[in-house]
C-alpha cells in the first residue's frame, strides 16, 4: 500500500485522469458522478490519485481540495504494473503516457494488492474517473 492508511469509513480512492488544461468544473462533475455511481459518499474517500505528469494540474488539485482529501501521484511504470487488474486498458493511453490506464491504475496503485475496482473507468469529454476500494483485509 502507499503512504496512507485506511479507516473503516475511508477506504476508497478516486482515480482521475484528464487532458492538460481541462476545466476544474468538468473534472469535479465527473468525480461527483463517479462517487454517485459507485454508491459512496465523499466522506468515504481516503484520497484521489492520478499520474505524476498531472501533479500540477489545476483540475485534479481542485477536486482534491473540494473533497478535502490528499492527492497521490504515481509514475507511468508504477501505473503500468496495474494493467492486469484493469477493466478498460487502452493502447491509445499507453501510446500517450506510457501506461494502459490512468484513472483505474492510479486508484488501484494508491491502495495496493488488496484493492478492487468498484467502478471501472467512466469518461467525460476530457477526463476519466474510477473508484477502488481497499482495506478489506485489514483489522
The mean pLDDT of 48-76, rounded to a whole number, is 97
Query: For residue 34, is pLDDT > 90?
Result: yes
Domains detected in the chain? 12-133 (3.30.420.180)
- Output the CA–CA distances (angstroms, integers) from residue 95 to 89, 98, 138, in the order listed: 12, 6, 36
| Other CB atoms within 10 A of residue 136 CB | 11
Instruction: Give the rounded percent of residues in the chain with a pLDDT score beyond 90.
Output: 86
Digit-coded pLDDT (tens) for 68-127: 999 999 999 999 999 999 998 999 999 999 999 999 999 999 999 999 999 999 999 999
Q: pLDDT: is 138 or 38 the higher one? A: 38
Residue with cell 462517487: 35
Amino acid at each position: 500500500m502507499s503512504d496512507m492508511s485506511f479507516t473503516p469509513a475511508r477506504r476508497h480512492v478516486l482515480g482521475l485522469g484528464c487532458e492538460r488544461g481541462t476545466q476544474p468544473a468538468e473534472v469535479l462533475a465527473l468525480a461527483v458522478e463517479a462517487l454517485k455511481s459507485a454508491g459512496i459518499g465523499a466522506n468515504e474517500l481516503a484520497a484521489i490519485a492520478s499520474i505524476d505528469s498531472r501533479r500540477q494540474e489545476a483540475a485534479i488539485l481542485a477536486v482534491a481540495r473540494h473533497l478535502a482529501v490528499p492527492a497521490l501521484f504515481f509514475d507511468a511504470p508504477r501505473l503500468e504494473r496495474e494493467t492486469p487488474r484493469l477493466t478498460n486498458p487502452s493502447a491509445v493511453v499507453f501510446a500517450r503516457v506510457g501506461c494502459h490506464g490512468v484513472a483505474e491504475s492510479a486508484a488501484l496503485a494508491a491502495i495496493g494488492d488488496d484493492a478492487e475496482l468498484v467502478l471501472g473507468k467512466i469518461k467525460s469529454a476530457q477526463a476519466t474517473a474510477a473508484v477502488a476500494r481497499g482495506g478489506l483485509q485489514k483489522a
